[in-house]
Amino acid sequence: MASETHTSTEYIKHHLQNLTFGELPDGSLGLAQTPEQAKAMGFWAINVDTIAVSFILGAIFLYLFAKVAKSATLSVPAGGQNFVEMIIEFIDDSVRGSFTGRNPLVAPLALTIFIWIFLMNLMDLVPIDYLPGLATVLGLPFLKVVPTTDPNATFGMSIAVFVLVIYYSIKVKGAAGFAGELALQPFSSANPVIKGIFIPINLFLEGVNLIAKPISLSLRLFGNMYAGEMIFILLAIMGGSFAAANMGGSSVLFGTQILLSLAWAIFHILIITLQAFIFMTLTIVYLDMAHQEHH
């Protein structure tokens, strides 16, 4: 697609546009055919590609791990079992190192977050034109195949973590204890008058700190993956420009573009793994903070 007669701006917009379902200008429900239609659909529009790819990757994760679990043996592990056990040991070590409480939910949650986000990030390594090109053949106007480049997906995951943090903060500390933690920290005083002055200040500071957790989780993941996707798109445009330039030395330029794409893909493997690890680690840390009682 990069070599077709599209402007660079149109090419970038096409690859960054989600397949959106919602209310069309005529009042009917359907898929947006242009970015303007998708924008006009408003808040209740559904990014079909983000949801579909996320669920497919989640199903693949569950299927593979369930298959390995059913065929697991007590002998020396090999193949898939060895790989899964390595991942589980890695997650277990991460949880033991960052979570000081006792909660059987934390380790499975950490495993799910790490593998699911890693698989969603991994879609960024699929050649940029393959799946959108296939979608065009099938009659779909757009297809964005990296769910974590959609802020709706990253905010959705971070809000789920935030709800768990609030739930366990209240469950472990009680409603009064959690409210006291927000109102009486970080500034406190034995003098009741000064303590009363500190309460609104503490509520503001702790409230900002609390709200910053899901925002930082979501924006960090979205920002890094969106930037990586943009670089792949720009490299594809570069390759299309080199291919279209029928001049001496164009083969050298095209080879340079291939090397740049390969180098960025190799480096991006580290990025997609690191982003999954950071999201998982921060989730564990936030839940650990929710389980700590301050006296």
The SS3 assignment for 213 reads helix
Q: Sorting pLDDT into bands at 50, 70 and 90, what band is 87? A: very high
pLDDT in the model for residue 66: 92
Residue ranges per structural domain of the chain: 8-291
Q: What are phi and psi of 99, to 5 degrees?
A: -115, 120
Tell me how far the alpha carbon of residue 111 is from its chain's centroid. 14
Tens-place pLDDT, residues 90-147 = 999 999 999 998 899 999 999 999 999 999 999 998 888 889 889 989 999 999 999 9
pLDDT at 251: 62
Q: Higher-confidence residue: 124 or 242?
A: 124
pLDDT of residue 79: 75
Q: What local confidence, expressed as pLDDT, does residue 59 receive?
A: 96
Q: Assign 245 a pLDDT band (cuts: 50, 70, 90).
A: low
Give the mean pLDDT of 229-239.
Answer: 82
pLDDT, mean of residues 149-158: 95
pLDDT tens-digit series, residues 24-74: 988 899 999 988 999 999 888 999 999 999 999 999 999 999 998 888 777
Residues 6+ apart with CB under 8 A from 98: 281, 284, 285, 288
Catalytic residue positions? 216, 220, 224
Mean pLDDT of the chain: 87
Scored b (16 or more CB within 10 A) or e, 166-183 reads: eebbeeebeeeebeebbb
Residue 287 in contact with residue 168, Cβ under 8 Å?
yes
Range 280-292 average pLDDT = 93
Mean pLDDT of 12-34: 90
pLDDT category of residue 188 using cuts at 50, 70 and 90: confident
